[in-house]
């Protein structure tokens, strides 16, 4: 394995190929258009498919059709484009289709801006489309982690037959860091090894992939099936990282993605001042690390919890429900492309500790 | 008892045994059958995937004995694109009504046709929204009454009905674009010929193909099942001329 | 060497600040350090100022966003105005004196004047002003070795032998401008 210096957007594209996903559908949107530009020359080298669609609405529905082949398929987009894909997202969840959707988020609402933000948390973690469904949501905080989580995303999508969202802010897409890819790339999935892809009704009954159930009993059953799947996902697929968490911590910061790295710098610098703060970083936004955040915040040495986001406060609602009122919870956030600095985070921490 | 029997008519293998839910006098059943016969005749049933629309034929997957995807409203051409690009060896068709294709799915159909996607569309035009209960469609005729234009379609507000094959014929990309009807046995025979050519061109991997089939909706037109085909002939043929609008073997008009 | 060095490379679009920053990041990575390269992006990519930030560290890099960097190389006047004021006290500022006839006015930082365009023309092409500046920066900080920097240059421009020679000359000229004046803390 050799290290490469790569832009997040390009690394995400290469990671998909490493995962055996060579079928890509997309529409250009800042700040992630480099993925399509990368795939447009890289995919032909590996015999893949790239369609530049007429809209993100079409992208979502191309993915739906593409996923029915049983092969690994994916798209990348950014916030307004992801909103347009929510139609297909809901259908694909209802259809039990494996698909990976990357959201390199920018500020909203509306056309918003093009700079990094985390204001799509609700849409990703709570189901942005209609109906009773969830997608698994993975939030990398570095280019290497984006690569690792892309590969994981395809495995999770296949294992659970569900859409998986990889969510990174614009910074993850735009920055270059050193990355390593697996020495051995995965072979594309063989649909014949599965019992659901559409391969032609030869020697078997015709298969239908659908989310329409006019009989309420059958629709409820589909929702039960989805819920059962989410239950297993919640039990098995929670991922989070603790940074400098110890019994000396007076405060715990919860942050994800790029924001977590900024908090990491703030925590390092506070440590130099003799202020001990730990970082709780959810890697899966769904399933949310519910038990883990409760366990960490319930510890006697933790006087308060601070959630820091590049939004007006979205993940904090999950933190709030998980700490169950055991500790005071505060929030710091900037948005619209303005990113909280380590100094701002440090000031907020000092302020909270002084108020005690 | 030995009786010599020859089967001269049977259910095509590509049709399932399910009884359709279509209204009396509706021609969806005829069109389903034509598609199924063609799939049988071309010997492609076992490598075909259909894409069902939203509309009266939303349950089309119950009536065909081929693999099926149910698409979101209007998005069948995008969904078919996704599938066919990855599996060019398979035969893919979308089956769409006028609300699905010419209204909410206008963007998807135009771009799929323009990219020259190698699948086939069966476009069923009955000039009205059927499933939702008879509202105005993009293909509702001038002056035609529906539940959302009870005084008749006012072209000064709603514009004129969209002639899809003419519209798509304006695209430079080669395609097979044809309008047929199923209001008489003679027309049914011609319709089948067009559907067969559409699928044949796909089998050869040549071009996008779309067959617009003029169809009936006695329930929402407010006419008797027995007179629906006459209504079609009297009202639709004038506005929607039958014929081949584009063919890869002919010069572009 | 201490833990982390951040440098902003800023100038007009077309002055090669992105390339210079990337080359530095490649060299840092090659020497086993943690690196981050971040571009400015958006509609201002054409015209106006272009800039990138490179972070080189011995340990896992926290915030990739650096509001007050320790060092900067400014290629034009707007960049001096913007980033000169943002440097942390004790920082290092390299100014392209071929195009900028003023200094930052700050007394709490180290300034080095680099006539990058003049030297580049002497080296064979005005296009290698970025390499002159990069070499001066590396000479002043020793953040990476010239061995590594040269190897990375060859890796990135291997096929263009003429261009490579000009770039190497730019490196030598830039390197000769200054000795080590800056130590990371």
> Is A99 a domain residue?
yes
Reported confidence tier of residue C1, pLDDT bands at 50, 70, 90: very low
Pseudo-torsion of CA A168, A173, A176, A178, nearest 10°? 50
Q: Strand C49-57 to strand C4-12: parallel, antiparallel, or no bridges (unpaired)?
A: antiparallel
> How far is A279 from A244, CA to CA, in rounded Å?
7
Please give the angle made by the CA atoms of A70, A76 and A80, to the nearest 5 degrees: 125
In A201-303, at which residue ranges do the beta strands (DSSP E only) sit? 208-209, 240-243, 251-254, 277-282, 284-286
Q: Which residues pair with A305 in a beta bridge?
A: A252, A329
Using the Cβ of A211 and the Cβ atoms of chain B, whether some distance falls under 8 Å is answered with yes
A-B CB pairs within 8 A amount to 130
Q: Cβ B70–A71 below 8 Å, yes or no?
A: no
Using the Cβ of B72 and the Cβ atoms of chain A, whether some distance falls under 8 Å is answered with yes
- Residues A255, A310 contacting (CB under 8 angstroms): no
In chain A, the N- to C-terminal Cα span, in Å, equals 50
> How far is C127 from C121, CA to CA, in rounded Å?
8
Q: Which of A88, A206, A211 sits opposite B68 (nearest CB)?
A: A206
Ramachandran assignment for A70, one of left (phi > 0), alpha (psi -120 to 50 degrees), beta (any other): left
Write the CB contacts of A324 (distance below 8 Å, at least 6 apart in sequence).
A294
* Chain A residues within 8 A of C64 when measuring between CB atoms: 171, 175, 258, 261
> How far is A217 from A223, CA to CA, in rounded Å?
10
Q: Which residues pair with B176 in a beta bridge?
A: B209
Does a cis peptide bond (omega within 30 degrees of 0) precede residue A287? yes
From C52, C110, C49, select the one nearest C80 (Cα to Cα).
C49
- Residues A36, A26 contacting (CB under 8 angstroms): yes
| Maximum distance among all Cα pairs of chain C, rounded to whole angstroms | 44
In A8-53, at which residue ranges do the beta strands (DSSP E only) sit? 23-26, 49-52
* Chain A residues within 8 A of B80 when measuring between CB atoms: 65
> Is C160 a domain residue?
yes
pLDDT at C182: 73
Residues A138, A219 share a domain: yes
Residues A273, A149 share a domain: no
> How far is A127 from A131, CA to CA, in rounded Å?
8
DSSP-based three-state secondary structure for B1: coil
Residues A79, A173 share a domain: yes
Range from A106-115, B111-120, B170-179 carrying the lowest mean pLDDT: A106-115
**Whether B and A touch (3+ CB pairs < 8 Å), yes or no:** yes
Q: Which of A65, A199, A202 sits opposite B81 (nearest CB)?
A: A65
Please give the angle made by the CA atoms of B179, B80 and B170, to the nearest 5 degrees: 40
Q: How many domains does chain C have?
A: 1
Q: Cβ A66–B48 below 8 Å, yes or no?
A: no
> Is C13 a domain residue?
yes
Does a cis peptide bond (omega within 30 degrees of 0) precede residue A269? no
> How far is C177 from C148, CA to CA, in rounded Å?
19
Q: Which residues pair with A49 in a beta bridge?
A: A23
> Is A199 a domain residue?
no
> Is A307 a domain residue?
yes
Boundaries of every domain in chain B:
28-246
Q: Where are the alpha helices (DSSP H) in B53-105?
A: 76-86, 98-99
Residues A261, A228 share a domain: no
CATH number for the domain harbouring residue A254: 3.40.50.920
> Is A128 a domain residue?
yes
Q: Which of B61, B83, B111 sits opposite A68 (nearest CB)?
A: B83
Report whether pLDDT(C48) > 80.
no
> How far is A52 from A139, CA to CA, in rounded Å?
26
Assigned CATH for B28-246? 3.40.50.970
Reported confidence tier of residue C172, pLDDT bands at 50, 70, 90: very high
> Is A192 a domain residue?
no
Helix (H) or strand (E) holding A318: helix A315-323
* Chain A residues within 8 A of C43 when measuring between CB atoms: 114
Place of tokens 């909270």: A352
Distance from CA of A13 to the nearest CA of B (A): 18
> Is A80 a domain residue?
yes
pTM over 0.90: yes
Instruction: Work out the percent of chain A whose per-residue pLDDT is above 70.
Output: 99
Q: Cβ A55–B107 below 8 Å, yes or no?
A: yes
Q: How many domains does chain A have?
A: 2
Q: Rounded to 5, what percent of chain B is helix, strand, coil?
A: 40, 20, 40
> How far is A277 from A243, CA to CA, in rounded Å?
9
- Residues C66, C10 contacting (CB under 8 angstroms): no
Helix (H) or strand (E) holding A168: strand A163-169
Residues A162, A287 share a domain: no
- The first and second tokens of residue A5, run together, are 């210096």
pLDDT at C47: 58
* Chain B residues within 8 A of A53 when measuring between CB atoms: 78, 81, 111
A239 burial via Cβ count (<10 Å: 0-12, 13-18, 19+): middle
Distance from CA of B175 to the nearest CA of A (A): 19
Report whether pLDDT(C42) > 70.
no
Write the CB contacts of B154 (distance below 8 Å, at least 6 apart in sequence).
none
* Chain A residues within 8 A of C29 when measuring between CB atoms: 3, 5, 178
Q: Strand C92-96 to strand C110-114: parallel, antiparallel, or no bridges (unpaired)?
A: parallel
> How far is B123 from A40, CA to CA, in rounded Å?
33
What is the interface pTM, i.e. ipTM, of the complex? 0.95
Q: Which of A114, A174, A265 sits opposite C62 (nearest CB)?
A: A265
Residues A270, A137 share a domain: no
From C99, C71, C112, C90, select the one nearest C11 (Cα to Cα).
C99
Helix (H) or strand (E) holding C122: helix C116-123
Q: Cβ A58–B46 below 8 Å, yes or no?
A: no
Write the CB contacts of A109 (distance below 8 Å, at least 6 apart in sequence).
A119
Where in the sequence is the domain holding A250, given as residue range(s)?
241-354
Q: Which of A61, A67, A208 sits opposite B75 (nearest CB)?
A: A61
Using the Cβ of C54 and the Cβ atoms of chain A, whether some distance falls under 8 Å is answered with no
Using the Cβ of A54 and the Cβ atoms of chain B, whether some distance falls under 8 Å is answered with yes
User: Please, which chains are in contact with B (at least 3 CB pairs closer than 8 A)?
Assistant: A
Residues A153, A24 share a domain: yes
User: Please, which chains are in contact with C (at least 3 CB pairs closer than 8 A)?
Assistant: A
pLDDT at A356: 63
> Is C182 a domain residue?
no
Q: Cβ A198–B67 below 8 Å, yes or no?
A: yes
Report whether pLDDT(C159) > 80.
no
Q: Which of A87, A201, A206 sits opposite B72 (nearest CB)?
A: A87
Mutate to test the interface with A, among C50, C62, C149, C151 (most CBs of A within 10 A): C62
Where in the sequence is the domain holding C32, given as residue range(s)?
4-176
> How far is B97 from B9, CA to CA, in rounded Å?
28
- The first and second tokens of residue B165, run together, are 């094959």
pLDDT at C115: 96
Residues A311, A218 share a domain: no
> How far is A100 from A89, CA to CA, in rounded Å?
10
CATH number for the domain harbouring residue A116: 3.40.50.970
Q: How are strands ordered across the β-sheet holding A99-105? A: A49-52, A23-26, A73-77, A99-105, A163-169, A136-138, A284-286
Q: Cβ A66–B72 below 8 Å, yes or no?
A: no
CATH number for the domain harbouring residue C136: 3.40.920.10
In tens, the pLDDT along C8-17 reads 999 988 899 9
Q: Which residues pair with B52 in a beta bridge?
A: B70
* Chain C residues within 8 A of A341 when measuring between CB atoms: 63, 65, 67
Mutate to test the interface with A, among B16, B55, B75, B78 (most CBs of A within 10 A): B78
Residues A219, A297 share a domain: no
Write the CB contacts of A124 (distance below 8 Å, at least 6 apart in sequence).
A103, A135, A137, A165, A167, A285, A286
Q: Which of B45, B61, B87 sits opposite A69 (nearest CB)?
A: B87
Q: Which of B49, B68, B72 sits opposite A61 (nearest CB)?
A: B72
Residues A297, A318 share a domain: yes
Reported confidence tier of residue C67, pLDDT bands at 50, 70, 90: confident
Report whether pLDDT(B101) > 50.
yes
Residues A303, A155 share a domain: no
From B23, B7, B2, B55, select the one nearest B223 (Cα to Cα).
B23
Instruction: Work out the percent of chain C whose per-residue pLDDT is above 90.
Output: 75
What does each of the 356 residues of chain A score in pLDDT, given as a tens digit? Answer: 588 999 999 999 999 999 999 999 999 999 999 999 999 999 999 999 999 999 999 999 999 999 999 999 999 999 999 999 999 999 999 999 999 999 999 999 999 998 999 999 999 999 999 999 999 999 999 999 999 999 999 999 999 999 999 999 999 999 999 999 999 999 998 999 999 999 999 999 999 999 999 999 999 999 999 999 999 999 999 999 999 999 999 999 999 999 999 999 999 999 999 999 999 999 999 999 999 999 999 999 999 999 999 999 999 999 999 999 999 999 999 999 999 999 999 999 999 999 86
Average pLDDT over chain C, rounded to an integer? 90
Residue of B nearest to A24 (CA): B82
Reported confidence tier of residue C160, pLDDT bands at 50, 70, 90: confident
Q: Cβ A198–B49 below 8 Å, yes or no?
A: yes
C120 burial via Cβ count (<10 Å: 0-12, 13-18, 19+): buried
A-C CB pairs within 8 A amount to 65
> Is C16 a domain residue?
yes
* Chain B residues within 8 A of A61 when measuring between CB atoms: 71-72, 75, 78-79, 82, 108
- Residues C7, C69 contacting (CB under 8 angstroms): yes
pLDDT at B251: 64
pLDDT at C13: 82
Residues A132, A30 share a domain: yes
């Amino acid at each position: 394995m050799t290290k490469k210096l790569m832009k997040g957007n390009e690394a995400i594209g290469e990671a998909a190929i490493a995962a055996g996903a060579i079928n890509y559908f997309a529409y250009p949107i800042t700040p992630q258009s480099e993925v399509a530009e990368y795939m447009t020359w890289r995919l032909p080298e590996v015999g893949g498919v790239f369609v530049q669609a007429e809209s993100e609405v079409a992208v979502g529905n191309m993915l739906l059709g593409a996923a029915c082949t049983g092969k690994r398929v994916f798209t990348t987009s950014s916030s307004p484009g992801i909103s347009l894909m929510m139609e297909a997202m809901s259908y694909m969840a209802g259809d039990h289709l494996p698909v990976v959707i990357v959201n390199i988020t920018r500020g909203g609402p509306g056309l918003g801006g093009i700079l990094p933000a985390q204001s799509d948390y609700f849409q990703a973690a709570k189901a942005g489309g209609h109906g009773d469904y969830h997608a698994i949501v993975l939030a990398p905080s570095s280019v290497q982690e984006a690569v690792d989580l892309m590969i994981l995303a395809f495995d999770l999508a296949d294992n659970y037959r569900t859409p998986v969202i990889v969510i990174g802010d614009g910074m993850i897409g735009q920055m270059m860091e050193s990355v390593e890819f697996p020495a051995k790339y995965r072979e594309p999935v063989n649909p014949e090894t599965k019992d659901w892809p559409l391969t032609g009704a030869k020697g078997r009954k015709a298969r239908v992939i659908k989310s329409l159930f006019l009989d309420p009993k059958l629709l409820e059953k589909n929702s039960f099936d989805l819920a059962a799947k989410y239950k297993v996902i919640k039990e098995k697929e929670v991922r989070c990282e603790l940074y400098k968490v110890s019994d000396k911590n007076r405060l715990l910061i919860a942050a994800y993605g790029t924001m977590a790295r900024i908090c990491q710098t703030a925590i390092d610098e506070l440590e130099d001042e003799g202020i001990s703060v730990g970082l709780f970083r959810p890697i899966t936004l769904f399933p949310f690390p519910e038990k883990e955040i409760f366990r960490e915040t319930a510890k006697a040495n933790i006087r308060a919890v601070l959630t820091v986001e590049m939004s007006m406060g979205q993940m904090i609602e999950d933190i709030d429900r998980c700490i169950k009122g055991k500790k005071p919870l505060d929030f710091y956030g900037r948005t619209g492309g303005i990113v909280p600095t380590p100094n701002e985070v440090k000031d907020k921490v000092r302020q909270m500790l002084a108020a005690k | 008892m030995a009786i010599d029997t020859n089967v001269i008519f049977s259910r095509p293998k590509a049709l399932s045994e399910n009884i359709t839910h279509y209204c009396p006098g509706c021609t969806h059943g005829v069109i389903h059958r034509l598609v199924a016969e063609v799939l049988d005749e071309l010997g492609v049933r076992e490598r075909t995937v259909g894409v069902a629309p939203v509309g009266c034929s939303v349950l089309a997957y119950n009536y065909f004995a081929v693999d099926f995807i149910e698409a979101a409203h209007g998005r069948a051409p995008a969904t078919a694109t996704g599938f066919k690009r990855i599996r060019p060896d398979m035969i893919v068709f979308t089956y769409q009504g006028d609300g699905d294709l010419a209204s909410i799915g206008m963007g998807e159909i135009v771009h799929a046709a323009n990219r020259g996607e190698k699948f086939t569309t069966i476009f069923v035009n009955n000039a009205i929204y059927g499933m939702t209960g008879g509202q105005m469609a993009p293909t509702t005729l001038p002056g035609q009454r529906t539940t959302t234009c009870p005084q008749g379609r006012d072209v000064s507000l709603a514009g004129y009905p969209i002639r899809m094959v003419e519209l798509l014929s304006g695209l430079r990309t080669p395609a097979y674009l044809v309008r047929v009807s199923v209001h008489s046995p003679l027309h049914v025979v011609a319709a089948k010929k067009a559907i067969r050519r559409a699928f044949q061109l796909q089998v050869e991997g040549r071009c996008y193909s779309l067959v617009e089939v003029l169809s009936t909706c006695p329930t929402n037109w407010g006419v008797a099942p027995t007179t629906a085909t006459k209504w079609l002939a009297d009202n639709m043929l004038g506005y929607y001329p039958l014929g081949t609008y584009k063919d890869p073997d002919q010069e572009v008009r | 060497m201490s833990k982390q060095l951040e440098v902003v490379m800023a100038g007009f679009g077309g002055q090669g600040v992105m390339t210079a920053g990337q080359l530095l990041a490649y060299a840092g990575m090659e020497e086993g350090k943690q690196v981050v390269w971040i571009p400015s992006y958006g509609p201002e990519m054409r015209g106006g100022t272009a800039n990138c930030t490179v972070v080189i560290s011995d340990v896992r890099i926290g915030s990739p966003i650096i509001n007050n960097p320790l060092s900067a190389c400014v290629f034009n006047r707007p960049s001096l105005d913007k980033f000169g004021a943002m440097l942390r006290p004790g920082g290092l500022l390299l100014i392209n004196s071929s195009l900028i006839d003023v200094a930052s006015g700050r007394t709490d930082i180290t300034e080095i004047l680099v006539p990058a365009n003049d030297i580049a023309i002497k080296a064979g092409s005005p296009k290698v002003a970025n390499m002159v500046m990069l070499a001066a920066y590396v000479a002043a900080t020793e953040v990476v070795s010239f061995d590594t920097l040269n190897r990375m240059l060859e890796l990135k421009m291997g096929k263009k032998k003429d261009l490579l020679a000009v770039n190497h000359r730019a490196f030598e000229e830039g390197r000769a401008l200054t000795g080590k004046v800056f130590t990371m803390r």
